[in-house]
């Protein structure tokens, strides 16, 4: 049995859960305190999985491990060019789209409090008042240090729309991001757009793009717990 040590709201943890659902791998999700990641990860980041005693950290390394050990259905294509493109899209989602999620939620005051409460949902009751004022500040600074969070709000929204418009054009009539079908690229991009979609302004942008919305519905149906 696989155990996923997670922050439930993290898109990177969502990425690993969805990979498991897609592969029909049973798992237990164990919520970790925001201050407790160092117990499981040398990088003090989650997700981390334990697969019968073998621990893997970092969402990219985890899903690559899962694809090697449990190869059906595959998440990484065998064709070298498609694999290279899959890796590029996954890295773009992790290292670019993620920071627009952070900027949208924590550089916009109307979103920060609600998102912080979601992050603190599993914390011990006595810890919530201590962390509540800190979490929005720390995550806003994370977005600012990368760059996206320092932009004016109209520029952040325009950048998000530009990325989604590019996905719309790229998808065209394709069902998935790769011609060969569903892949790790779809899950990686989906979890970031799903996080963006959780903010009202993000949802309004995504709703304007029919191909992206249909693609998100397809990925959701293949990677969600249907039990």
Please state the rounded mean pLDDT for residues 62-87.
97
Q: Is residue 90 over pLDDT 90?
A: yes
Torsion sign across C-alpha atoms 192, 197, 203, 206: positive
The structural domains of the chain, ordered by start, are: 2-69 (3.40.30.10), 80-223 (1.20.1050.10)
How confident is the model at residue 226, as a pLDDT? 57
Closest CA to 107 of 131, 137, 134, 146: 137
What does the pLDDT average to over 146-161?
93
Q: Which of 4, 3, 2, 7 is nearest to 36 (CA)?
A: 7
Mean pLDDT of the chain: 94
- In this predicted structure, the answer to whether residue 134 has a pLDDT above a threshold of 90 is no
> What pLDDT, in 10s, does the model give residues 24-55?
999 999 999 988 888 898 888 999 999 999 99
What is the arithmetic mean of pLDDT over 129-151? 86
Alpha-helix runs per DSSP H in 147-199: 153-171, 184-197
């Amino acid at each position: 049995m696989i155990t996923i040590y997670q922050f439930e709201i993290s898109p990177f943890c969502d990425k690993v859960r969805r990979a498991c659902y897609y592969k029909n791998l049973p798992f237990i999700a164990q919520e970790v305190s925001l201050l407790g990641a160092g117990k499981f990860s040398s990088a003090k980041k989650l997700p981390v999985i334990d697969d019968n005693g073998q621990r893997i950290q970092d969402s990219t390394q985890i899903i690559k491990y899962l694809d090697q050990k449990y190869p059906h259905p595959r998440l990484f294509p065998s064709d070298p060019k498609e694999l290279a493109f899959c890796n590029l899209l996954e890295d773009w989602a992790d290292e670019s789209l993620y920071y627009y999620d952070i900027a949208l939620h924590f550089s916009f005051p109307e979103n920060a409090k609600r998102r912080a409460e979601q992050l603190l949902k599993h914390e011990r009751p006595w810890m919530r008042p201590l962390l509540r004022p800190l979490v929005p500040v720390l995550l806003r600074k994370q977005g600012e240090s990368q760059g996206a969070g320092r932009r004016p709000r109209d520029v952040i929204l325009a950048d998000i729309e530009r990325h989604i418009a590019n996905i719309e054009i790229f998808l065209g009539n394709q069902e998935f991001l790769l011609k060969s079908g569903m892949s790790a690229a779809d899950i990686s991009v989906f979890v970031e757009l799903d996080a963006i979609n959780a903010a009202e302004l993000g949802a309004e942008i995504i709703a304007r793009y029919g191909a992206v919305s249909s693609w998100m519905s397809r990925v959701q149906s293949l990677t969600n717990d249907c039990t």
